[in-house]
Amino acid sequence: MVDAFLHKGFGALPAAPFNTFAHSGELASPGAHFVSVNNDTVSSVAQLDLSGGPLTLHVPDTGGAYYVLQFVDVWSNNFAYVGRRATGTAKGDWLIVPPGWAGAVPDGVSGVIDAPTSLVTVVGRTACDGPEDLPRVQALQRQFTLSHRDSAPHRTGLPTPDAGVPEELRFFEELRVWMADFPPSAGDQAYQDRFQPLGLLEEGPSPYVPAGPALVQALKEGLARGKARVEAATRPAPEADGVVPGAWEANPHLFDYNLDHLGVGTIDSPEWKIADREASYLVRAVAARTGLWGNHGYEAVYAHTFHDSGGRPLNGAHTYVLRFEERPPVQAFWSVTMYDVPGCHLVENPAGRYSIGDRTPGLVYAADGSLTLYLSKDRPADPDAAANWLPAPDGDFRPMLRLYNPEQAVLDGSHVILPIERVEADRG
């Protein structure tokens, strides 16, 4: 992903060199082939290279409007946040420093962001209420800037895998060279030692160019098993004991695998850390598979489901309703976004509607304040239902409910999202 943003761009985000923001000029569409991409905000991404010393980040005054800059290290740990919830919406300057930096902090900065790795991804999200709101958002985006404080030499590129490694082992070669350049935290290094027999800790020439048949077979089989384990972990069985068919999986702690580096804007407390370090590795993999670069639960909660109230897979051959008896308890806003399965990408549709939520114009609420959304391949004939329609694909799908700045009822699970109900037989 880092290389894609540096050289090719991604979806509506253009390519940008290190230490420069790439801003999307539009809300995400199906052209952004990114896992569970956000359609509520306009994205800004910057890849930071701190090998040449600290950077200064300038943020504008957004006048109370929602935005967040999420700081992610090479190991996908969210280690800092700047934005409405975390630091407010006033303008300011933040000093971002590399690991081990011990220089003097200049006057006038709002604070210091300590990076655990010298390569950092900044994921920016600025709330946008639709195409008509884009000029306001774009004006703000231009004011997010990065500047060098020092002129020390910095890296000339990303770690380069050995070109002679066969494609079937490329994953392990990439992992080897990145681990060498960006060591994990001290707490994770002991676990990493078990990788020695696999060649992952070897320095210098790649051990995978001359790898013997036994090692090749072990690595291939291990990779296949690992992928299967992660896929299984993303889809809990609806018939499991105590699980209501069609129940939404809302895990405010999906991104709690960062146990060691929690800085500006984070909550450094046991409640937001996975107690079992080894168990956190599977959680990290699931988070990357289903919602790469997602936020901690206190910034946003993501709930999703693959099944209806009867435990059947959601599929565009049917029509469904999702009812909210009361408005989701959030301090910012909420939305439901449609994704296909298994890719978890936005779904192309003639209406050009990829998400629906409390900022969608024309939503029709019932007299008692409840809201019913319609999920189907075809547009409902009833005008009120059409106003509340979220288009679905032909095949299986997975909706995601996003809750921005959720209230305590979301975090403690006392707010229950009703299962999706199937209301129509097969089309045709």
**The tokens of 193 are what?**
């030692």
Min mean pLDDT across 150-159, 225-234, 374-383 is at 150-159
- The pLDDT, as a whole number, for residue 239 is 54
Task: Please give the C-alpha separations between residue 52 and each of 104, 152, 282, in angstroms, as whole numbers.
Answer: 16, 5, 33
Burial of 374 (0-12, 13-18, 19+ CB in 10 A): buried
The ranges of the chain annotated as CATH 2.60.40.1610 are: 1-148
Which residues have CB under 8 Å from 127's CB, separation 6+? 40, 41, 65, 66, 67, 137, 332, 333, 404
What does the alpha-carbon distance between residue 390 and residue 236 come to, in Å, rounded to a whole number?
24
What pairing do the DSSP bridges indicate for beta strands 389-391 and 371-376? parallel
Task: Please give the C-alpha separations between residue 61 and each of 126, 133, 264, 384, in angstroms, as whole numbers.
Answer: 12, 17, 18, 38
Q: Note the pLDDT tens digit of each residue in 351-374.
A: 999 999 999 999 999 999 999 999
Q: Are 115 and 99 in contact (CB under 8 A)?
A: yes
pLDDT greater than 60 at residue 238: no
pLDDT tier, 32 (very low <50, low <70, confident <90, very high otherwise): confident
What does the alpha-carbon distance between residue 260 and residue 265 come to, in Å, rounded to a whole number?
15
Is 1-148 assigned to CATH 2.60.40.1610? yes
The ranges of the chain annotated as CATH 2.60.120.1600 are: 305-422
pLDDT tier, 39 (very low <50, low <70, confident <90, very high otherwise): confident
Q: Note the pLDDT tens digit of each residue in 86-109.
A: 999 999 999 999 999 999 999 999
Q: Note the pLDDT tens digit of each residue in 131-154.
A: 889 999 999 999 999 998 776 667
The CATH code that applies to domain 305-422 is 2.60.120.1600
Q: Are 128 and 27 in contact (CB under 8 A)?
A: yes
What does the alpha-carbon distance between residue 209 and residue 141 come to, in Å, rounded to a whole number?
45
Percent of the chain with pLDDT over 90: 80
pTM for this one? Answer: 0.86
pLDDT tier, 427 (very low <50, low <70, confident <90, very high otherwise): low
